[in-house]
Amino acid sequence: MSQSYSLIIHGGAGALEDLKYEASEAEFRKSIIAILAAGRQRLENGESALDVVEYCVNLLEDNPLYNAGKGSVLNENAQVEMDAALMNGSDLRAGAVTCVKNVKNPISLARQVLEQGDHVMLAGEGALEFAKFCQATLRPDEYFITPARLKQLAEAKAAGRMTLDHERIKPAQKLGTVGAVAQDLNGNLAAATSTGGLVNKRWGRVGDTPVVGAGVFADNETCGVSATGYGEQFLRTVFAKTISDFVYFKGMDAAAAATAGIQYLVAKVNGEGGVIVIDKAGRCSAAQSTSGLIHGWIELGGEAHCKLG
Ligand code: GLY
């Protein structure tokens, strides 16, 4: 073991007033700091970055404050359909699931896909069958659906819906997704992202989160990236890989690459969202084009920080 560790997590991007709509700032801060502390302990114990990002995202998925796992936003049919993916920076192994229902922790199912190794992404019914094969924890629909999400969907529909234009459904929508990036004591990077997607999205819609290179990317030679925001824009800009390319081809560090990535997103597609990054030197950074990005970080074993703006 040669070096320190770093960890950064996020709980979604959006307008700050939208974040307050769902819970108080204190609640978000408390949960971000608690998850960082739990992740720190594991990294100090020598656990791999891949294990730690899966673990941190599990905690975010289990907390109904966030749009992932329990508390996911609802699609146009008032159903929860979740996407998740994670990637290991030492060998570029990746696992993803999309349009999954009833899986308590989609990121852990994505991890099973990664470990199984034949495929990178499983979808819908096939993913659910694989979840049963893996004995993943399943929950009934009622577990995932919260009163706040039903209210949010009703507001989205009342506002004129088909929701890919999130401006029309403010103030109810946060561009939620959760994610984690870590560098372990061996210098390995990993990244994980999980989401319920967009409020009132079309049934069967796939966002950026499960797409390697769009919502998630990790390469030990460059950086780990987890994105949050309007998924279609992140897909069209191959967002997470673009940030990695800024490190690889332009020699940027985490801060420069995160900023350049968001500038590119805005310049090309007027994109809305945020990103967290750890570079190969363990430096943490975040950037966003929205007014809010719920996130927290521990850089090179230092103090834990939390920021909502
Ligand atoms: N970024 C999450 C989504 O658009 O589904």
Measured CA to CA, the distance from residue 210 to residue 230 in angstroms comes to 13
Residue among 60, 99, 178, 198 whose CB has most ligand 1 atoms within 8 A, to mutate:
198
Nearest Cα residue to atom 4 of ligand 1 = 231
Q: How far is Cα of residue 288 from the mean position of the Cα atoms in its chain? A: 14
Measured CA to CA, the distance from residue 164 to residue 300 in angstroms comes to 38
For residue 146, the model assigns a pLDDT of 82
For residue 153, the model assigns a pLDDT of 85
Q: Which atom of ligand 1 is nearest to the CA of 227?
A: 1
Closest by CA position to 12, among listed 131, 159, 166, 135: 166
Pairing state between β 273-279 and 223-229:
antiparallel
For residue 175, the model assigns a pLDDT of 63
For residue 2, the model assigns a pLDDT of 54
For residue 99, the model assigns a pLDDT of 98
Amino acid identity at 6: S
pLDDT digits (tens, 9 = 90+) for 2-33: 589 999 999 998 776 655 556 688 889 999 99
Closest by CA position to 207, among listed 231, 234, 238: 231
Residue among 208, 212, 272, 276 whose CB has most ligand 1 atoms within 8 A, to mutate:
208
Q: Which atom of ligand 1 is nearest to the CA of 229?
A: 1
CA of 249 relative to ligand 1 center, distance in Å: 27
For residue 164, the model assigns a pLDDT of 32
> Could you give the dihedral angle defined by the CA atoms of residues 20, 73, 10 and 113, in that order, rounded to the nearest 10 degrees?
170
Residue among 230, 235, 239 whose CB has most ligand 1 atoms within 8 A, to mutate:
230
Low-confidence residues in the chain, pLDDT < 50? 1, 162-169, 171-172
CA of 204 relative to ligand 1 center, distance in Å: 13
The residues annotated with a catalytic role in the active site are: 177
Measured CA to CA, the distance from residue 218 to residue 76 in angstroms comes to 32
For residue 168, the model assigns a pLDDT of 37
**Domains assigned to the chain:** 6-304 (3.60.20.30)
CA of 176 relative to ligand 1 center, distance in Å: 7
Give the pocket of ligand 1 (CB within 6 Å).
Answer: 177, 195, 197-198, 207-209, 215, 228-231
CA of 52 relative to ligand 1 center, distance in Å: 22
Nearest Cα residue to atom 5 of ligand 1 = 197
